[in-house]
Structure 1
């Protein structure tokens, strides 16, 4: 009697142990998957938070850049347009109100008014060109970039070499304007801050993307401190690259120029 009874107890104990072991293993797996899933969700939340913060930073940079551009336009309008028109207005009032103006003085005042008016017209054209280059609207991005390079080279302050291989209408009008402003800002930075004498700009297709490669021989900067060095110009560039859903990579050393690669 004792033998079978002991054997039954042993079998029951083994079964109970097996069940308990399976439960423990099951609970362990559930806990493992729960913690793993929680960690994955936490990582995703952190990623989304970083993306949201980046978007907020880009939006803020865009707003700041727009406000700076508005202030610049307002200053240009005041200095180049309003001030000159005030001169014309004063001269016209003088001719109308003064009775003892000689014919010679009248001719001189009228000629002066004509010169100021012509300068005002030229200034208004330049302001309009800076807002939206006519060649970009009429002939597209490729022609606008070539004209931009020519304008900087013709200044005699810097030599610009370029290779533009852009297929017309590959980007829409707003995207083309973003690329143009990026190139314009890079060149302005090279001249104002980098003191560059040589600039190279290439814009061409690479597989399914568009690659804008930029290089200058200016003073450069330490890329490890780029976060500290980012002024309005660089933030404006990065906000436009973000709007194009592109990526930007800087390569630079102090006194060894700057290389920038933008993939769209």
Structure 2
């Protein structure tokens, strides 16, 4: 508000009229008067552009309110033009009580008989300053409303950006879940075909081989037929094996270990009654068996701690691959703590297991806001 273009213009017009009154109409040639006016202008500008702390700003206002009557009495000029700048600035104060105290002092100075030629002029000054104060109060409220609206707009903008980011993340996770689900289903179907059709065909071939051997002993004519049928089934069996290999996704191996961890989460949910949401994102590389085993045990420990110590009812488990790292995070809605003490076996075990696979563990918690654990595991370099 103090730097509003319109109010700055009013301030400069008042200073110009005051200078005109003193040095053109009043023919005042005193060096002290020039210095006094310059000091008022400098104090005004320092308050506008440099004094940001409340105590320096208020001190500047007090000094100016004290100096104005002394300068007016000694060098002349209309008191109302002296008070324009300081009047604008008092309405930028956050403290309402202080604002109205200063306004009362200024109104008292402007209507004092010492600074006017009579009662009529004092009344005119009173009316003008009252109207000016009402306008300033209205502008101040508008400015505060505008500022609050801007803050609200900024918050909404930040919230919108967060929502967009969260939506993009969710879409990525959804895509990953769909891919993992598809890989699981393809793997299940390939396994079913291998176990059922493959087993039936291999059994049939064994039976036909036995029939062929018996027919050979007895000199039966069905031997060539059994041989041809066995060869045909063998070809079909090879076709089934090829189809199973093609159907079984190579990428599934990257997820086998993580699906074990997801299975732990599901079993824990069934046994404890605590809701466990687990999400796996797509990865282009797989964890080693050592890494999987340690992460598996870490997951068990974290879930157990959330139940026993955190009293949680919801645990979120997110597994995410980057180019060089695998990140698994656990976030529960338990009671939390303001001080994490790794004195028990559980938390120590989590840190030790993470360090054994050259990982990094981060633990955060606060009272009433649950517990958060993030484990970062680097990709193993192939030798």
> What is the TM-score when the length of structure 2 is the normalising length?
0.31
Larger Rg: 2
Q: Which has the higher contact order (CA 8 A, sep 6+)?
A: 1
